[in-house]
Chains A and B, each alone.
Chain A
Amino acid sequence: MEASAATAVRSKTITVEVNGVEYEREVEARRLLIHFLRDDLDLTGSHIGCDTGNCGACSVLYDGLVVKSCMMLAVQADGAKVETVEGLADGNELTDLQRSFTAHHALQCGYCTPGMLMSATALLREKPHPTEDEIRKAIQGNLCRCTGYVNIVEAIRAVSQ
Chain B
Amino acid sequence: MLLPEVEYARPSSVQEALGLLSEYEGARPLAGGQTLVNVMKARAAAPDVLVDLQDLDELKGIDLGADGTVTLGAMVTYSDVIGSAEARARPILGEVCAQIADVQVRNRGTVGGNICSNDPTNHLPPLLVALGATMTIRAAGGERTVPAEQFFVGVYQTAAGPGELLTTISIPAGKADGFAAVTIGKDGTCIVNVAASLDGGSPCVVVGCVDAVPIVLRPGTDDEDAVRSAVRGANLQPPSDVHASADYRRHLAEVLAARAIRQAQGRRN
Q: Do chains A and B touch in the complex (CB under 8 A)?
A: yes
User: A122 contacts which chain B residues (CB < 8 A)?
Assistant: 103
A119 at the interface (CB under 8 A from B): yes
A29 and chain B: residue at smallest CB distance? B8
Which size class do B's interface residues fall under?
Answer: 35 or more
Query: What's the minimum C-beta distance from B23 to chain A, rounded to whole angstroms?
Result: 8
| Closest 7 A/B residue pairs (Cβ) | A141-B102, A1-B12, A29-B8, A8-B7, A30-B3, A8-B9, A51-B1
A82 at the interface (CB under 8 A from B): no
Task: Give the CA-CA distance A70 to B108 in the complex, in Å.
Answer: 12
B residues near A (Cβ < 8 Å) are 1-12, 16, 19-20, 24, 27, 30, 33-34, 37-38, 40-42, 49-52, 54-55, 79, 101-105, 107-108, 186-187
5 A-B pairs whose Cβ atoms sit less than 8 Å apart in the complex: A5-B9, A6-B9, A8-B24, A29-B5, A71-B108
A residues near B (Cβ < 8 Å) are 1, 5-10, 12, 28-32, 48, 51-53, 56, 59, 62, 65-68, 70-73, 75-76, 78, 119, 122-123, 137-138, 140-142
Complex partner residue of A6 from B11, B40, B187, CB under 8 angstroms: B11
Q: Is the CB of A67 within 8 A of B7?
A: no
Q: Is the CB of A5 within 8 A of B103?
A: no
Task: Give the CA-CA distance A7 to B19 in the complex, in Å.
Answer: 10
19 more CB-based (< 8 A) A-B contacts, given A10-B6, A30-B40, A141-B104: A1-B55, A5-B55, A6-B19, A7-B9, A8-B7, A28-B5, A29-B8, A30-B3, A30-B5, A32-B41, A62-B107, A66-B107, A71-B104, A72-B33, A72-B37, A76-B52, A119-B103, A140-B102, A140-B186
Q: Is the CB of B19 within 8 A of A53?
A: no
Complex partner residue of A137 from B5, B27, B38, B103, CB under 8 angstroms: B103
Q: Is the CB of A140 within 8 A of B3?
A: no
User: A78 contacts which chain B residues (CB < 8 A)?
Assistant: 10
User: B16 contacts which chain A residues (CB < 8 A)?
Assistant: 5-6
